[in-house]
Amino acid sequence: MAGKTLYDKLWEAHVVREEPDGSTLLYIDRHLVHEVTSPQAFEGLRLAGRKPWRGDSVLAVPDHNVPTADRDKGIADPVSRTQVETLESNVTSLGLKFFPMADVRQGIVHVIGPEQGATLPGMTVVCGDSHTSTHGALGALAFGIGTSEVEHVLATQCLWQKKTKAMQIRVEGELRPGVTAKDVVLAIIGRIGTAGGTGYAIEFAGSAIRSLSIEGRMSVCNMSIEAGARAGMVAVDEKTIEYVRNKPQAPTGEMFERAAEHWRTLVSDPDAEFDAVVEMDAAEIAPQVSWGTSPEMVAPIDGRVPDPAAESDPVRAEGMQRALEYMDLKANTPMTEIRPDKVFIGSCTNSRIEDLRAAAEVVKGRKKADNIKLAMVVPGSGLVKQQAEQEGLDRIFLDAGFEWREPGCSMCLAMNADRLEPGERCASTSNRNFEGRQGQGGRTHLVSPSLAAAAAVAGHFIEPSALKEA
Amino acid sequence: MQAFTVHKGIVAPLDRSNVDTDAIIPKQYLKSVKRTGFGPNAFDDWRYLDPGEPGMDGSQRRPNPDFVLNQAPFDQATILLARKNFGCGSSREHAVWALTDFGFRAVIAPSFADIFFSNSCKNGLLPVVLAEDEVQNLFEQVEANPGAQVEVNLEEMTVTAPDGTVFGFTLDEDRRHRLLNGLDDIALTLQFADDIRAFEERQRREWPWMAL
Ligand code: SF4
């Protein structure tokens, strides 16, 4: 018999009940909640007269709608305010754990889960949010759910699921200097496409993935959904265990050692069989910039905007043409000639301390280019912000003419006041470049933090190593 | 949940692949704390020429005449036809609520994104997967004969095209059963409360750190 994949192990450890047709009642250990996808679930619960099954499994935080400036003035938009207030009243009336906007621990739900040790290796983690896959970087089974499922988990601590197929994406070899976790995942999506992982749980493996920090692995797992997969994960190693140690909600002392012993088993067996395997050579991955309106539309920084005329599949060619029109780009333009109007460094993909350090390293001693109307840095949580300020990163950004904001989703999806105006072009460290994602008519180029920082300094896309001496 | 057995209606052809949930319902409308009222803003960016904000009076807005749902008879459509990877992107169930609120009962496409598929089934919106050539065939028939009716039958798991051709589709038995009967998922699950408690006891014994 073949060995087990990491996905098999996580799945089997959470089966409450299995029906003959394979429908499985799966137990959920951690339920993260934010203000956008939860109000209808709490209302449903109330209308049915039900109570949360295990309230201590919940961690709730407002992140999508919160302002990133002038917080003391509250939320100006009354509709956003109502949503945040609704979350607060729902969770406080049920006694659920909650970090309000003024709490230093508040931040993007996928940044604060690992930061608090609320998400641990071996757990099943859900949230009404497709980027829940982020937590898979810790060796957890983490996936996004809809609002009906949020209500179901609140009421029963379980979900009906069918086991999906397992895919291994193996990136072997050494990454070139200047190539980051974000470039790896964008290159993967460019290779397999936005539906390449549909119907699979993806395990990211190989020496290049192992060489990434836990935060880097989070950036990779974060974008599993952009490859179509609900869940992405990385096997546990000593880095995982050291990352989790001393986190506020993690076990301590002897219990920690016992847990760690179990966590070390959370790897795919050497003889495990996957339903699909994708292999990539780390050395071939260049820093990536997206040029279109789907995350698979990426090009290397030293490449050019592709030409739809050279595409043989007519449906694809039409999609490319439509994207180029929306993005106001001409085929064959060198990526380095594209000039953004704004730069956004933030989002659950790239707003952790290492991301901010990487951006600050590029910005240090330099100034924002004149054509960049706004360069903003939005830390992923209040604690990330605090840490960055202790390291003086805020000064580096402010001295270069960047804005230094309060934590939240911000211009990743522009539900708060931070957004692109129609036609504006943005270098963004977020995960989606869909039409209108960062503001109606806005044009998004997905990049890593260091590339975003370099674009802010040069006024166009450029490899940081090619910048003039600071 | 509204049950789904058999439905016959007008098909709106939306000739795009990778229709994402940001397109189905743009984020400014996600600020609502209700489940209803999203229909007028389904596909807002494609449907209107002016930028939309919550609370705007729909009758004062400028519809985009080129968008299929603004054209008769497709404004009365109850079945949506699209290309592959429909519903990709964000997990927002609001996308499904927007489609049902508009009046859709079924979506036919060659493939769906996983979360959208699951959300649809929980709201009585039937996602029907047909082969690419069958979808192509339907596009041709609907474009040649706008307003022609298509029947989607979940009991038989068939789609009957305007020219009478019958295409078969599949849906797992569990979802089919719940949809056919419009069942409340939570009540069904709570029948297994003892299994859930037994699982929790075992977990607390073996891995006590999981529920700290
Ligand atoms: S940062 Fe963006 S992608 Fe992440 S949870 Fe917030 S809105 Fe979603």
| Tens-digit pLDDT profile for residues A336-365 | 999 999 999 999 999 999 999 999 999 999
How far is it, in rounded angstroms, from Cα A405 to Cα A69? 6
Reply yes or no: is the peptide bond before residue B73 cis, omega within 30 of 0.
yes
Q: What is the pLDDT of residue A469?
A: 80
Q: What is the pLDDT of residue A165?
A: 98
Distance in Å, alpha carbon of A45 to nearest chain B alpha carbon: 10
Residue B55 has pLDDT above 90, yes or no: no
**CB interface of A with B, residues 331-390, below 8 Å:** none
How far is it, in rounded angstroms, from Cα A91 to Cα A95? 6
Set of chain A residues whose Cβ sits within 8 Å of the Cβ of B200: 27, 54, 157
Distance A447 CA to ligand 1 centre (A): 15
Q: What is the pLDDT of residue A321?
A: 96
**CB interface of A with B, residues 261-290, below 8 Å:** 262
Distance in Å, alpha carbon of B88 to nearest chain A alpha carbon: 7
| pLDDT averaged over every residue in chain A | 97
Q: Do B27 and A414 touch (CB under 8 A)?
A: yes
**CB interface of B with A, residues 13-42, below 8 Å:** 17-18, 20, 22-23, 26-28, 30-35
What is the atom index within ligand 1 of the atom nearest the CA of A431?
Answer: 3
Q: Do B88 and A195 touch (CB under 8 A)?
A: yes
User: Looking at the complex, does the CB of residue A29 fall below 8 Å from at least one CB of chain B?
Assistant: yes
Picking from A113, A117, A138, the residue whose alpha carbon sits closest to that of residue A126 is A113
**Ligand 1 pocket mutation, candidates A63, A344, A432, A437, criterion most atoms within 8 A of CB:** A63
Set of chain A residues whose Cβ sits within 8 Å of the Cβ of B185: 148, 152, 160
User: Looking at the complex, does the CB of residue B203 fall below 8 Å from at least one CB of chain A?
Assistant: yes
Q: What is the pLDDT of residue A408?
A: 97
Residue A1 has pLDDT above 90, yes or no: no
User: Looking at the complex, does the CB of residue A79 fall below 8 Å from at least one CB of chain B?
Assistant: yes
Residues A442, A436: contact at Cβ < 8 Å? yes
Picking from A345, A370, A347, A367, the residue whose alpha carbon sits closest to that of residue A451 is A345
CA A424 to chain centre: 23
**Ligand 1 pocket mutation, candidates A131, A132, A226, A431, criterion most atoms within 8 A of CB:** A131
To 5 degrees, how large is the angle CA A140–CA A25–CA A12?
A: 45
Cα–Cα distances (Å) from A21 to A156, A161, A162, A279, B161, in that order, read 21, 11, 9, 33, 30
Where in B83-187 does DSSP place strands (E)? Answer: 106-109, 126-129, 149-153, 158-160, 166-168
Residue B119 has pLDDT above 90, yes or no: yes
**Ligand 1 pocket mutation, candidates A125, A348, A352, criterion most atoms within 8 A of CB:** A348
Set of chain A residues whose Cβ sits within 8 Å of the Cβ of B111: 195, 198
- Regarding predicted confidence, which is higher, B131 or A2? B131
Mutate to test the interface with A, among B14, B15, B27, B46 (most CBs of A within 10 A): B27
Picking from A227, A291, A286, A324, the residue whose alpha carbon sits closest to that of residue A427 is A291
Segment A256-260 shows an average pLDDT of 98
Q: Confidence class of residue A21 from pLDDT cuts 50, 70 and 90? A: confident
Set of chain A residues whose Cβ sits within 8 Å of the Cβ of B67: none
**Percent of chain A residues past pLDDT 90, beyond the cut:** 96
Supply the DSSP symbol for A468.
P
Give the nearest chain A residue to B87 (CA atoms).
Answer: A228
Cα–Cα distances (Å) from A117 to A258, B22, B110, B185, in that order, read 16, 31, 41, 31
Segment A217-223 shows an average pLDDT of 98
pLDDT digits (tens, 9 = 90+) for A289-318: 999 999 999 999 999 999 999 999 988 899
Distance in Å, alpha carbon of B164 to nearest chain A alpha carbon: 27
**Percent of chain A residues past pLDDT 70, beyond the cut:** 100
Give the nearest chain A residue to B116 (CA atoms).
Answer: A146
Q: What is the pLDDT of residue B193?
A: 97
Q: Do B22 and A436 touch (CB under 8 A)?
A: yes
Nearest to B17 among A57, A228, A315 (CB): A315
Q: Do A258 and B209 touch (CB under 8 A)?
A: yes
Q: What is the pLDDT of residue A42?
A: 97
Q: Do A27 and B196 touch (CB under 8 A)?
A: yes
Residues B209, A120: contact at Cβ < 8 Å? yes
- DSSP codes joined into one string, A250-287: S--HHHHHHHHHHHTT-S--TTB--SEEEEEEGGG---
| Ligand 1 proximal residues by C-beta, below 6 Å | A 63-64, 108, 110, 129, 131, 347-348, 409, 412-413, 430-431
User: Looking at the complex, does the CB of residue B8 fall below 8 Å from at least one CB of chain A?
Assistant: no
pLDDT digits (tens, 9 = 90+) for B64-116: 999 999 999 999 999 999 999 999 999 999 999 999 999 999 999 999 999 99
A75-84, A182-191, A381-390: segment of lowest average pLDDT: A75-84
Q: Which residues of A439-463 are buried (b: 16+ CB within 10 A; e: fewer)?
A: bbebbbbbbbbbbbbbbbbbebbbb
- Six-digit token string for A24: 């499985």
Residue B59 has pLDDT above 90, yes or no: no
Residues B9, B78: contact at Cβ < 8 Å? yes
Distance in Å, alpha carbon of B5 to nearest chain A alpha carbon: 21
How far is it, in rounded angstroms, from Cα A260 to Cα A263? 5
Set of chain B residues whose Cβ sits within 8 Å of the Cβ of A43: 33, 35
Q: Does the interface ipTM go beyond 0.90?
A: yes
Q: Confidence class of residue A391 from pLDDT cuts 50, 70 and 90? A: very high
Q: Do B26 and A436 touch (CB under 8 A)?
A: yes
**Percent of chain B residues past pLDDT 90, beyond the cut:** 92
Residues A47, A154: contact at Cβ < 8 Å? no
Q: What is the pLDDT of residue A468?
A: 87
Q: What is the pLDDT of residue A274?
A: 98
Segment A189-195 shows an average pLDDT of 96
Residue A449 has pLDDT above 90, yes or no: yes
Q: Confidence class of residue B58 from pLDDT cuts 50, 70 and 90? A: confident
Question: Helix count (H) and strand count (E) of chain B?
Answer: 8, 7
Residue A470 has pLDDT above 80, yes or no: no
Residue A28 has pLDDT above 90, yes or no: yes
Whose CA is closest to atom 4 on ligand 1?
A348
**Terminal CA-to-CA distance of chain B, rounded, Å?**
35
Residue A375 has pLDDT above 90, yes or no: yes
Residues A359, A449: contact at Cβ < 8 Å? yes
- HSE-up of B75 (CA within 13 Å, CB side)? 10
pLDDT digits (tens, 9 = 90+) for A85-131: 999 999 999 999 999 999 999 999 999 999 999 999 999 999 999 99
**Ligand 1 pocket mutation, candidates A108, A224, A446, criterion most atoms within 8 A of CB:** A108
- The bridge status of strand A342-345 relative to strand A425-428 is parallel
Whose CA is closest to atom 6 on ligand 1?
A409
Where in A304-398 does DSSP place strands (E)? Answer: 342-345, 374-377
- Residue A446: its H or E element: strand A443-446
Residue A416 has pLDDT above 90, yes or no: no
Q: Which amino acid is it at A260?
A: A
